[in-house]
Structures are given as structure tokens and as C-alpha cells.
Amino acid sequence: MNWMMTLLAAATAPAAPAPEPGLRGLLQSPMLPLVGVMLIIMYFSFNSKRKQEKQKKELLNAMKKGDRIQTIGGILGTVVDLRDLEVVVKVDEGNNTKLKFMRSAILRVVREDEKADLK
């Protein structure tokens, strides 16, 4: 009989308080630090991507005739003509072979110190 009384007392005990609604409950949430870290990671990710796009745009705008370039396909050549959306590149000196590329297909301009590494 004694065990019945303790079981009945435990069943009728007041329930644990519910989490507080509103801002106070949100600030005490264990998810808040996780969400904060995720937001910081997203900010730095988008910020670095924006920087890379800006650098690429500056590179394409600074390109001029005679620059040695590399395309995204790995083709090396010398810029012969620049147009709004196209770049004419000479890829073979012996046969005077020229190819047209979209400006967006240019990966980088090969600098003088990098030319020695390519040979």
C-alpha cells in the first residue's frame, strides 16, 4: 500500500515549467550559438566569393594586347585583339593560329615571372 501512495504522489506532482515564450526563451536556447556560428561562416564565405569575382573583373578589364593569358581550358596564348565580349588569342606562332574566346573563359594573365615556370 505504501508503494501505491508514492506512485500516486509522483503522478500528481506538478509538471516541470514550460520554456518561456518570447525573447528570453530564445536567448536561452542551446541553438543560438549554433545559428550564430553558421551565420558567421556564411558571411565569410560570401565575402570571399565577392572578392574573387571583383579580382577577376579587374583582371579582365586590365587585359591588353600582347598579354600572355591562360584560358579555363588550359590553352596558353597571346592576346591579339580585344572586343566587348570576345578576346582573339594567338596560340601558335609558327602557323599563326588564332582562336576566339569569350572574356569569361580567360582564367588568368600570365606574368613575366610565371612565364619561366611554364617553359
Q: Is the pLDDT of residue 32 over 60?
A: yes
Decide if 70 contacts 76 (C-beta within 8 A).
yes
What end-to-end distance do the CA atoms of the chain give, in Å?
A: 95
pLDDT tens string 46-68 = 999 999 999 988 888 888 999 99
Reported pTM: 0.57
3-state SS record for the chain:
CHHHHHHHHHHCCCCCCCCCCCHHHHHCCCHHHHHHHHHHHHHHHHHHHHHHHHHHHHHHHHCCCCCEEEECCCCEEEEEEECCCEEEEEEECCCCEEEEEEHHHEEEEECHHHHHHHC
Q: Mean of the pLDDT values across residues 102-112? A: 88
CB 104, CB 93: distance < 8 Å? no
Query: Residue 109 and residue 15: Cα distance in Å, rounded?
Result: 70
Whether pLDDT at 95 is above 80: yes
Residue-wise pLDDT for 64-94, tens only, equals 999 999 999 999 999 999 988 899 999 988 8
The domain defined by 64-119 folds into: SH3 type barrels. (2.30.30)
Task: State the pLDDT at residue 23.
Answer: 65
